[in-house]
Chain A
Amino acid sequence: MLTVSIYRYHPELDEKPYMQDFQVDTGGKDIMVLDVLNLLKIQDRGLAYRRSCREGVCGSDGMNINGTNGLACITPLSSVVKNNKLVLRPLPALPVIRDLVIDMDQFYKQYEKIKPFLINDTPAPGIERLQSPEEREKLDGLYECILCACCSTACPSFWWNPDRFIGPAGLLQAYRFLADSRDTATEERLAGLDDPFSVFRCHGIMNCVTVCPKGLNPTKAIGHIRNMLMTRAT
């Protein structure tokens, strides 16, 4: 029997959030945290959490698992459970809608700010804009982000300034478009980032790198953006 302690909050019924304990029979198997939630859902139909792909691709089941952000569907119990206890909370910093479901609005607003699409006003070629293999390689480690928000909600700078600091997820994508040979808006993009908050609130704490379930490195991307800003200014 595994003891699972879950953050519960139903804004229409509960005055305050609380932690609820459950006992789950895992059959002694090393299953994923999402499997445990699915078992719990049988015990309590009212339990709310997001999930879709159940294989680390959609990014919907980011949550705080025994104190660390991660995707429930690709986190095996053996990698997180100590003393037979599993503690599940919603991702920190963003408002809770219900139980483990958070309101990602602020997170998406920051993503929107960096204009996450190719900008190129030159006449479109007949078939497609070509890239050399080397140019394409520059996007590796950037395009794989699934926007699960594990990183941004683990970042103290984002906790304190979610409205002004873009956050690691948004900045990784900002660099993804800055690094793209087909994008021609580099100057505008950089001009929009050169304030004391958007990029420079990053203090290199590297929580983002530690938690990213896709093994990406937002801190490195932020360093690249800083270098680009520096080159542009000197």
Chain B
Amino acid sequence: MVTTVTSYGRSGLSDWLVQRASAVILAVYSIFMVVYLLLNPLIDFAQWNSLFSGTSMRIFSLMALLSLGAHCWIGLWSVSTDYLKHFAVRFVFQMVIGLLMFIYTIWGVQLLWGL
């Protein structure tokens, strides 16, 4: 058993599952967006605005946003443990990524709810 305190879920299995599930959510969200834009090529601000004011769309977007944060964190954490061999460098990198993900998530919530 290799112990790590900086991984996302502490267990390899939960990280792996979160990574797979978030990938599916992000894929569905991306496909939805592309299809929506293709079906509405001449979309204007009012329509765009009404799309994002529906509760289901907000839930869907928030889900995609949280997935993005978790997915990035697990992925980049993995990359950092592969390639950054110096403890201090790796730690700083992980903290910066963690902080960025936190900021983006809060910021995204603000945008979604138009706060």
Contact = CB atoms under 8 A, between A and B. Distances in A.
Interface string B10-21: 011111110000
Given A200-B16, A226-B16, A230-B13, A194 B1 contact: yes
Contacts of A192: 1
B2 A195 contact: yes
B72 to A, nearest CB: 16
Interface in A190-218: 191-201
B90 to A, nearest CB: 12
A168 to B, nearest CB: 16
Interface in B49-103: 78, 81-83
Interface residues of B, number: 16
B4 interface: yes
Contacts of B13: 194, 200, 226, 229-230, 233
Contact of A191 (B1, B16, B83): B1
Nearest to A198: B2
Contacts of A157: 82
Contacts of A230: 13, 17
B3 interface: yes
Tell me what chain A mostly uses at the interface: helix, strand, loop, or mixed. Answer: loop
Interface in A121-175: 157, 160-161, 164
Interface of B: 1-4, 7, 11-17, 78, 81-83
Contacts of B11: 194-196, 233
Nearest to B77: A196
21 contacts: A160-B82, A161-B81, A164-B2, A193-B1, A194-B11, A195-B2, A195-B4, A196-B2, A196-B4, A196-B11, A196-B12, A197-B2, A197-B12, A197-B81, A198-B1, A200-B15, A201-B78, A226-B16, A230-B13, A233-B13, A233-B14
Contacts of B12: 193-200, 229
Contacts of B4: 195-197
A91 to B, nearest CB: 20
A226 B7 CA distance: 18
Contacts of B83: 160
